[in-house]
Amino acid sequence: MTKSPPKKSVAQMIAYNANEGVVLRKNLSFDDFYDGENELIDSSEYRRQRGIVRVKGKIYDSRGKLVKEFETEYFANGDYKRGKSIFEDGTVQEN
């Protein structure tokens, strides 16, 4: 089995509905993820319309190093409920 090339400067996200079904998979560049215009992360209306209640993701830097894993939960109306991030140094942030 061949090993896939490392992921570089990318945010990989998977969005789930209330039944744990995958609604969508999305890859964004590292910069696009943080620009504040990512509707999956930044738009309650987008999530509500698609029934998205949870998003899991991994973010890789330009070296292909995993710098952050996250899981974010949303209410059925698309509003933020809570989130958890694990950073490359092992630091965990929950809110």
pLDDT tens digits for range 58-87? 999 999 999 999 999 999 999 999 999 999
The mean pLDDT value for 32-44 works out to 87
Where in the chain are the domains? 10-94
Reading phi first (left if > 0) and then psi (alpha if -120 to 50, else beta), residue 2 is in beta
Question: Which residue has better confidence, 15 or 6?
Answer: 15
pLDDT of residue 28: 92
pLDDT of residue 50: 98
pLDDT of residue 1: 61
